[in-house]
Each structure stands twice: as C-alpha cells, then as structure tokens.
Amino acid sequence: MTDQTFTSVMHILDVLYKLWPIACGLLVIGAVFWRTRSFFFLFHQILKWLGLEGKYTNTDDQKVADEYLDLNKFNLKTGFRLKSVKAKTQLHGWLNENDLEFAEVRHAGWYFKANKLIFEIPSRMQIWVFRVLFLALGCLFVATGSILQNPDQAMLKVTATDTWFWVGKNEATSVRFDLPGTLRGDAWKIQQHDCRYGDAPVPLDSSWDKDVICRLVLGFNDSYIADAIETQKTSGLALVFMGSLSFVLVAIFTFWQLTAVKLQRRIIGEDLSTPASPTYDSWKP
C-alpha cells in the first residue's frame, strides 16, 4: 500500500468514526418511521429522550394520546402499520374469530394487510417474474463478484480509448480472453517480449493502448496494480453479498407467500382459485 493510499484510508476511517453516531441515529429514526408511519410517535419519543414529555390535564385527551401511543408501539413491534385504534380493535377481534395468533399472521409478511384484514397474494405471473428477476440479479452479482476477486490480475481501463483489460504477473489480456469459443471476441495477449521487441501496436489496434499497457506489463506500476487488485477484491465481496442478499429475499418472500396461502385456506376453508381481492389473484402452489 502506498503512502497516498494509506493516508486516504485513514482519512475515510476518521470521517466514519466522527459521523457514525449521526448515521446510526438516522438509521434508527428511519427504521421506526418505516414500521410506524407516524411522525407523532417520532416527535413523542424525541421529547421523551429530552425529558420534555408532558401529560394532558384533560383525562379524555390523555386517554386518546395513550391509546394512540399504544397503537404506534404495537406497530413498531409487529410492523402491521395499523392506521387507527379502531383498526387495532378490529384486528384483535378478527384474530379471535379465526383462531389465529399474531405470530402466525406476521409470518405472512407484507402479504397480510392488517388494515383490511385480508391476504393480498399476487398472481402467479407476478410471483414468477419477481423470482426470476431477483434470481437473475443474484447470479449476475455473484458471478461478477467472483470474477473481480481474481487474486493475480487487475481489471483496468485505458481512459483515453475506453479499452478494458486484465493485467498482472507481467502480462495483459483482453477482458474476454479466458471465455470459451466465440465469446472471446477479438482476444489478445501481451507479454514482456511483445513490449521489448517491436514498435507495432500488434496485437492491439492502437499504439496508445499498447504503450499504456506495456508500462504495466514491464513492471513500472506494480504498486498501482496491487492496489487495484485489493480494491477489486473488496468490490467483489460487496457484489457477492448483494447477490446472496437477492437469494435471501427470494427465500423470505416465498416463505411469506406460502404462509399467506396456508392461512387464507385455513380461514375461508375452500379452494383458492377464487380471487382474494378485486386487485390480486390468489395463488395455488
């Protein structure tokens, strides 16, 4: 690692160390609002943290405030995002009527609409489009991340001509050099003897590209290549994580959807070929 790179890394770490309390605070506020959808609850909690929480002198007003506060605490813990105290009362009655528990309907995730007391299950087409899209993105991220974690070569670009290439171990190749058959395109490879004995741009089309790449192949910028490899490894890990997250999301949404189907069957006691709502179709696995 060069002195410049080390200084840049230390500067970034110093900034993160100073800003992480603010970032964590904003993250907590965002998570609370996401689950409650209530500015009142955020404002109340901020006043409470500051020791400025007050009580109403009118008992009716205090009762309304307490009920609304309990509603938002309930939303924060369950994620149901109920819009009113009345909706919360109706939910309790609906659960008792259908012999369900909070834990069961929570396992249906976003497919359970607590304010409407129904399960909104997307159509078969919507479900498969979602799954295929996220699985494809996951495979793309994982594949790209695995490629970037090449321990021996760095993927670089000649800025002036937008030519991408791999370089390392005193040789450079085109980006698709290792692909099979026709996928290789106009594959090329440059080694040290190609740079020492000949002024022609062969195997490249541009003398500028060859001059830039040869400086790297001949070892004039080994530290730059080493830094690029480390950066690529980090980027590759991030992409693999994103790909894995895509797979996890597919698994979670599949579990939610299957749970919603099971609970809906249990409630209505009939075949789910009948739509669950005017907007969504019930899906039969």
Q: Is the pLDDT of residue 118 over 80?
A: yes
Indicate the domain borders of the chain: 1-78
Predicted confidence band at 284 (pLDDT cuts at 50, 70, 90)?
A: very low
- Please say if the pLDDT value at position 169 is more than 90: no
Helix or strand holding residue 191 (H, E): strand 189-191
pLDDT digits (tens, 9 = 90+) for 56-98: 778 888 888 888 889 988 988 888 989 999 999 999 999 998 8
* Mean pLDDT along residues 113-136: 93
Strand partners for 280: none
pLDDT band at 274 (very low <50, low <70, confident <90, very high): very low
Q: Tell me: the pLDDT tens digits for 15-43?
A: 666 777 887 878 888 888 888 888 878 77
Check whether 11 has a pLDDT greater than 70.
Answer: no
User: How far, in Å, CA of 253 to CA of 240, rounded?
Assistant: 20
Provide the 10 A C-beta neighbour count for residue 216: 23
Cβ(264)–Cβ(272) under 8 Å? Answer: yes
**pLDDT tens, 190-241?**
888 888 876 777 788 788 888 888 988 888 888 888 888 888 888 889 999 9
Whether residue 136 has pLDDT greater than 90: yes
Who wins on pLDDT, 107 or 25?
107
